[in-house]
Structure 1
Amino acid sequence: MKITVIGATGLIGSQLVTRLGAAGHEVVPASLSSGVDLLSGAGLDGVLTGADAVVNVTNSPTFDEASLDFFRVTSGNLLSAGERAGVRHQVVLSIVGVDRVPQLDYYRAKTLQEDLLKRGATPYSIVRATQFFEFMDAVMSWTADESTVRLPATPVQPVAAAEVVEALADVATGQPLNGTLEVAGPDVLPLDELGRRTLAARKDDRAVVTDATAGMFAAVEGDVLIASPGARLAPTRYEDWLGAQR
């Protein structure tokens, strides 16, 4: 198959390009650095020519209200270019529970992206993933100082990025779902406990303080970030991943 990966230089996109290429597919990596601009549409027609499928793993440069315009414009441009090129399968990476947190601008923006894909003329698949192991450092940095890290006890079910890539590759090379596949890690943990385990593994002596108002995930209520029954559960546990990083 010929598969175009939009956002090919990021955490997920770079691994997806490698994985699909190793499986024998013709992969076209597309990103700003290769002259493809989703916001203006520049370069899209060229990288989609002859593609059987396109996988969109791009991200908004901000998490605020501007992300709504970003996903509205980029989704429209990619869908239109895909139709012109005769692409038969549009795949998007999204977030578990994204439609259940309307108080977060970024989650509303990702929900808009999903809705636009569903209303498009091309068969589609949505892969919703839980929070990546790799993002834990960024999450802690939002509310950290020299001695403490403040985190809410929001339940999360984190997953290794490599296992999200595996799911994306399987979906992109299969028949369109015209629906959604959820991907999650094997364990549900409170976010503050995840922070404690991270610091302990790295011998970081800062304390994690449970704070229901701290950071973006403070706005998340209940278990909305937990995968639904029937989700694809990846095998790698967070502690094992942390150990492998060392």
Structure 2
Amino acid sequence: MQITVYGATGTFGRRLVAHLREREHSVIAAHRGIGVDTYASEGVTEAAEGSEVLVDCVNLMTNNRHRALDFFSRSSRSIALAAAENPGAAMVCLSIAFRPEVAASKLLGYYQAKELQERVYRRLVPADQLLMFRSTQWFELVESMTFTAGPVAFVPRMRVQALAADEAARMMAEAIDAGERGTLDVAGPEVSDFPTIAGRIAVTNADADSARGTGTRWSRVSKIVPIPLPGPMSTNGLIPDSPRLSAVTVDDWLRTH
């Protein structure tokens, strides 16, 4: 099967491409480096030609409401229009698992934009051709959202049911192979929070660095300081009701990370 993956060099996209190729699919890895810009609608339709499945893994990490809404509305629309040029092609969108109250918060522009992205696809792509793949946060996100100052790590207090990005990509590849449609939520095996996960990362890195005689920013961390967040992100706003679960825990992930 030929599959076009937009955003193929990102955290998720490059892992998805690898899993799809392991399953012997022909993958068109579409990204700006080869002239495919979904925001500017450049090369999008051409990259979709002949593909039976189009996957939107494009992302922009920003909590600026205007910038996020503008980016995701334009990017998703350009991919949805490319799908319309391939009658019968399936469309898969990587989204985020969150409850309505999260998108309703005016402080969380990124989540409002992801909700808009979902609306664009549901409006422009027939339901029998669309899979909305909604993942919880990835373990990798904890590292990127943590600020360290010497032995202190400042971590947002987000309550999550996180999973490894590679696990999310594997589960999407399985769903594509199975021809799934509708909405699929995926999550990790445990409900936790970012400070707890950051603590596990710090301990594991400290042990590994001690054994190797090396040092990293995580191996120096001896104190985790949770940063309170407003509204539903610190309660159950990011916990899906009935997700498909990965079996890989944060400790499993750290052993191979």
Q: Name the counterpart of 2:210.
A: none
DSSP 3-state at the match of 1:78: helix
Q: What value does the CA root-mean-square deviation take over the aligned residues? A: 1.9
1:237 aligned partner, one-letter code = T
Q: How does 1:109-124 map to 2 (within 5 A)?
A: 109-122=113-126, 123-124=129-130
Give how far 1:182 is off.
0.8
2:201 aligned residue? 198
Q: Quote the Cα distance in structure 2 between the aligned partners of 1:2 and 1:82.
A: 14
| Aligned partner (choices 184, 194, 216) of residue 181 of structure 1 | 184
Whether 1:224 and 2:237 are equivalent positions in the alignment is yes
Tell me the equivalent position of 2:15.
Answer: 15
1:125 equivalent to 2:131? Answer yes
Q: 1:62 to 1:210 in 2, by over 3 A?
A: closer
Write the deviation string for residues 157-213 of structure 1: whole angstroms up to 9, x where unpaired: 110111111111122233341x21111111111322222122111123331123324
Report the secondary structure of 1:117's partner residue.
helix
CA contact (8 A) 2:145 2:156 kept: no
1:26 paired to 2:30:
no
Query: Deviation digits for residues 14-67 of structure 1, max 9, x if unmatched?
Result: 121122122121211100001101012111121111111101101025331201
Q: Distance in 2 between matches of 1:154 and 1:39?
A: 29
Sort the Cα spacing of 1:61 and 1:200 in 2 relative to 1 into closer, same or farther, 3 A: closer
Secondary structure of 1:227's partner?
coil
Deviation at 1:4, TM superposition (A): 0.4
Q: Does 1:240 align with 2:256?
A: no
Correspondence 1:211 to 2:227: yes
**Are the structure 2 counterparts of residues 11 and 3 from structure 1 closer, same or farther at C-alpha, using a change threshold of 3 Å?**
same
Kindly indicate whether the alpha-carbon contact (under 8 Å) linking 2:31 and 2:37 is maintained by their aligned counterparts in 1.
yes
- 2:134 aligned partner, one-letter code: R
Give unmatched runs, 5+ long, in structure 1: none
Task: Work out the number of aligned pairs and report it.
Answer: 238
1:188/1:220 CA distance change after superposition, 3 Å: same
SS where residue 77 of structure 1 aligns? Answer: helix
So what's the TM-score if we normalise by structure 1? 0.89
Structure 1 runs (4+) greater than 6 angstroms displaced: none
Given that residues 51 and 87 in structure 1 are in contact (C-alpha distance below 8 angstroms), is that contact kept between their aligned partners in structure 2?
no
Question: Is residue 99–residue 240 contact of structure 2 (8 Å, CA) maintained in 1?
Answer: no
In structure 2, give the amino acid aligned to 1:81: A
Could you say which residue in structure 2 is the equivalent of 1:47? Answer: 47
Which 5+ residue runs of structure 2 have no aligned equivalent?
Answer: 207-218
- Tell me if structure 2 keeps the 8 A contact 1:127–1:181: yes
Indicate the larger mover: 234-243 or 57-66. Answer: 57-66
**Residue in structure 2 matched with residue 100 of structure 1 by the alignment:** 101
1:149 corresponding residue in structure 2: 153
CA distance in 2, matches of 1:79, 1:153: 35
- Are 1:163 and 2:167 matched, yes or no? yes
Secondary structure (helix, strand or coil) at the match of 1:11 reads coil
C-alpha change, 1:32 and 1:98, in structure 2 (3 Å) is farther
Task: Say which of 133, 145, 159 aligns to 1:139.
Answer: 145
Identity %: 30
Q: CA deviation at 1:112?
A: 0.3
| Residue aligned with 1:240, SS | helix
Residues 131 and 158, structure 1, Cα contact 8 Å, conserved in 2: yes
Partner-residue secondary structure (3-state), 1:55: strand
